[in-house]
Amino acid sequence: MIFKDKTVIITGGSEGVGAATARLFADAGANLMLVARGKKNLEAIAAELRDKTRVEIFAMDVSDSEACADLFKKAHFEYGRVDILVNNAGFHKRGDVETVDANDLGKMIDVNLKAPIMLSRLALPYLREAGGGAIINVGSLAGRTPLPGSAGYAAGKAGLRSFTYALAVELAGSGIKLAVVSPGPIDTGFIMADIDATSDLTFSQPLSTAQDVAQAILDLCSNNVREQSMPWLSGVLTLLMSLFPGLAQRVRPVLERKGARVKARIKAARKHRESDSPDH
């Protein structure tokens, strides 16, 4: 797909994977509608990219259905078309189900599953008007295999993966591409700012960068791939663990020990950098 002059809506577009994706689409000449809750961060990324392309921002809660409808109206008003929707916004409150507030469990489903479903539904008339396009959902390997301390998050991402595949069947032949990228751990604040609460199992898998995931999102807009697992070998591992629960039980302790060592190294390196900082 040629992205020049296409209109791309990116939720969670102010930082991390969303900001990296915005930068790549900007380099390709796409018009951007960036969405996040915080206006300040949105204004910062918009200011960075406006030398390259047109950028509009929309500060909103993606679980607000009226705001979701207004988002598409604004994008169409500003650019006259909508071509691509990237459902990237996410929320994760880590901890065992018994220890996580019930409202936070509900919020994980609202942000990680309900919002992408609503936004995808609202996008369809605009994509059809544009003659086709793409909806790319940012899932997670947590949605493919059980992850300790992440039951609510995993449930939302598993549902998002299933929704992607089901909607793809409904839209076969429409010219609208449906795909999901399923990364393992990503080296962004989404994990690193909450490293102590993140499971050791998570760190048993190689870290992707926000740029890696962003490139996968752009590639999925045009290729014939329905799901891109990242890294590829981690995708194979999660598939095997989901198909063979007995194998998962035997392998998990080994992976957790590996992850604990990786986490310890990351924390030690961070502490070393902080001690070498001129502010200390």
DSSP assignments along 127-186, one per residue = HHHTT-EEEEEE--GGGTS--TT-HHHHHHHHHHHHHHHHHHHHTTTTTEEEEEEEES-B
In the chain, what is the straight-line distance between the N-terminal and C-terminal CA atoms, in Å?
A: 49
144 has a pLDDT exceeding 70: yes
pLDDT on residue 277: 64
Q: Which amino acid, residue 91? A: F
199 has a pLDDT exceeding 60: yes
- 3-state SS record for 52-90: CCCEEEEECCCCCHHHHHHHHHHHHHHHCCCCEEEECCC
280 has a pLDDT exceeding 60: no
What does the pLDDT average to over 228-250?
89
Average pLDDT of every residue of the chain = 94
Q: What is the pLDDT of residues 68-100, one digit of tens each?
A: 999 999 999 999 999 999 999 999 999 999 999
Q: SS3 of 248, please?
A: helix
**pTM of the predicted model, to two decimals?**
0.93
The catalytically annotated residue of 79, 126, 153, 165 is 153
102 has a pLDDT exceeding 70: yes
Q: Map out the domains of the chain with their CATH numbers.
A: 7-276 (3.40.50.720)
Q: Which helix (H) or strand (E) holds 8?
A: strand 7-11
What's 277's DSSP letter?
S
136 has a pLDDT exceeding 90: yes
* Confidence grade of residue 270 (pLDDT, cut at 50, 70, 90): confident
What does the pLDDT average to over 260-272?
89
178 has a pLDDT exceeding 90: yes
- How many angstroms separate the Cα of 265 from the Cα of each of 148, 189, 268? 21, 17, 5
pLDDT on residue 189: 85
pLDDT on residue 271: 84
Task: Name residues whose C-beta falls within 8 Å of residue 230's C-beta, 6 or more positions apart in sequence.
Answer: 141, 181, 182, 183, 184, 208, 212, 213, 216
pLDDT on residue 245: 85
* Confidence grade of residue 34 (pLDDT, cut at 50, 70, 90): very high
Q: Position of tokens 């300040």? A: 40
Phi, psi of 193 (to 5 degrees): -75, -10
Residue bearing the bigger pLDDT, 18 or 277: 18
pLDDT on residue 50: 97
Active site residue 153: yes
166 has a pLDDT exceeding 90: yes
pLDDT on residue 278: 67
Residue bearing the bigger pLDDT, 225 or 244: 225
pLDDT on residue 58: 98
Q: SS3 of 278, please?
A: coil
pLDDT on residue 146: 74
What does the pLDDT average to over 245-262?
90
